[in-house]
Structure 1
Amino acid sequence: MAPHRKQIAPPGAAKVEDALSQVSQMPLYTQIREILRRRILDGSYPPHSQMPSESQMISAFAVSRITIRQALGDLQKEGLIFKVMGKGSFVAKPKAFQSLSRLQGFGEAMSTSGYETYSLLLSARPVAASALVAQRLQLKPEAPVFEIQRLRYLNREPISVDVSYFPPDIGERLAQEDLATRDIFVILENDLGRNLTHADVQIEAISSDESLARHLDIAEASPLLRIERLTWADDRPIDFEFLYYRGDAFQYRLRIDRS
């Protein structure tokens, strides 16, 4: 489908927050890239709308064409914009991403990138551990555990369904907290005094069933990322969860060094 061609107004040089600094150690193209990225992420430049032309940005920012192209090139590499030959640059629907190099909760990771997050509590209840849950949490089969299901929102759109399992005493305490706006990792560390050390993670691609599709507002059988994560506090497993992320809106990234 052809991109929507509505032209966005050129960057306003009068905006204080968008003023370029000539004395900053940050190169001009980097400053422009960050201004444009901010406008994309906050919705000022909506998905599939046309970006200002290079000439408009040259005039607004008072920089060279090379500088503008460097900024646009970086945004294209990040997947925030795409180019159509002979027509210009358009805003892509940005895919949020989380790095696997650090153990972070969803809200923690997204807030540092400027995203708005929120969680809807779907259920919080004691259940009997399945064989897999019991194995991961080092419990006996059908031992009591506490299950918490949440629908996570990113910039007011549903992004994932999280199904988490905890030892009963921890889960019951978590259920009393503000799970709409606070990350479970933050609560575990700051309120319950647990020392989270590491997590074991497995990722696979699956198709959404009817229930997941309904919660995530997608078609049934749409692609999902299914993350199985076991989080440890010191030398004991404390949180085992299944995270179901929309494949069209989220990705994990990992840097691998060659020694």
Structure 2
Amino acid sequence: MGKNRAAVRAVGVGISVALLVAGAAACSSDDKKKDPAKADAAATAQPGASSAAPAPKGPEAFTAAGYRGLKPGMAKDAGLATGALEAAPVSLLDGCTDFVYKGGPAPDQARMTAEAATEARYKDLNAKADAAAGKTPAPGGTLPPNASAKDAAAAAAGSAAAAKDSAATAKLMADATQSIVDMMVARETKEKAYLATGRVSFAAAGLRELVAPAEAKTAEGIGAGTTLEALQAAYGAKGLQPAKSGKYVFPVEGQQGWQYEFTMADGKVAGMAVVNRDLKCV
């Protein structure tokens, strides 16, 4: 009798298990009909199912193809529309409009005012120097043997005037030359001010200079702090060479006029840019 009862219980347990399994399968089927995506997600969470996630992306590389949505040659309005730049310009020197990346420093109004004054003086003095250079000095001439005292006095006055004009012209030329030096200093000061933060410069024809922030690196891992030896190893075969400016440059393949520029300090990269200096600001 005991054996029969045990058998009955075993059969009952088996039936219960079968019913539970069938119920779970039915629920799973109903859930999948209601939300297939949820069901598939649950399936992947099961032991043995594939759970590989997409590999995380590394930092964006600084390349000639573009950076932070900004591309060489793109219009200023299109560049601002990317949201990668601060809206207020930080320099208007040479007729270009420069911006910093989002979160960069606010415009330095004192420096911008000084830039404007330097550029105005440069344009004024060089226009006057060009005009003066086109004038032919009046000849001093010689007095004939029978010249009167009046003739001699007139000749002396003429020579003095010519000498005075020459002195004024010489001073004008010197001032114009100094204004060129002042402009070069203003450009270098601007470059240094945004060497670490980076900046983007737009000419009338579009984006002409893309300066990388200090944290950026090229696809080859070159960036601020890279030694000259490593820079040469990475780009020596691509035409890297020193420029008159003291920077190291090499052309961008397939982009006429564009080149990489690396500013050096103490044998290491202090800043880098992609630029087309054939694109004039105005």
What TM-score do the two structures reach when normalised by structure 1? 0.23
What TM-score do the two structures reach when normalised by structure 2? 0.22
In proportion to residue count, which structure has more strand? Answer: 1
State the structure with more CA Rg: 2
